[in-house]
Amino acid sequence: MEREQKLVIYTDGGARSNPGPAALGVVIGDKHYNEYLGRATNNEAEYYAVIFALQKAKQLLGKATAKKTEIEINTDSELIYKQLDGKYKIKETNLQQLFIHVWNAQQDFKKVTYKLVPREENKQADRLVNEALDKRDRGPQRLL
């Protein structure tokens, strides 16, 4: 009998000003990722974090293992959670497009579920977002 696999992921996205400089943070097991996104809204950054997480999980697992793996995405964004869980309609065109990217990425896994967690449980992903934004704010560092 095949063993069930589950991968728990924490995601966060944020923008300074809204819209403004934005970044994502993702925790997959003991691996931490962050990326500066450029100008985006908070909600767009949250979506980009989920898309990044699903793509990175597939890359880490490989296609065959991904198909056998259940993914749990933890977010502290109520809007993203409720939109991805089908509880809220997505009215903004830009978020509809990002939802389609999430939907397509989900097809690579056995099952993807979303869980709304308190901010305190999502501190690592939040820290990664702020690190990416802080690093970007400092600009290139001069060596001399």
pLDDT in tens, 69-85: 999 999 999 999 999 99
Distance CA 96, CA 94 (A): 5
d(CA 8, CA 74): 8
**Both tokens of residue 124?**
């690592």
Whether pLDDT at 141 is above 80: no
Helical ranges in 87-122 per DSSP H: 93-106
Calculate what percentage of the chain has a pLDDT beyond 90: 91
Angle at 99 between CA 97 and CA 105, to 5 degrees: 110
pLDDT value of residue 136: 84
- In this prediction, residue 2 has a pLDDT band, given cuts at 50, 70 and 90, of low
Instruction: Say if residue 3's pLDDT is above 80.
Output: no
Is residue 71 within 8 A of residue 54, CB to CB? The reply is: yes
Q: Which domains does the chain have, with CATH numbers?
A: 5-138 (3.30.420.10)
pTM of the complete model beyond 0.85? yes
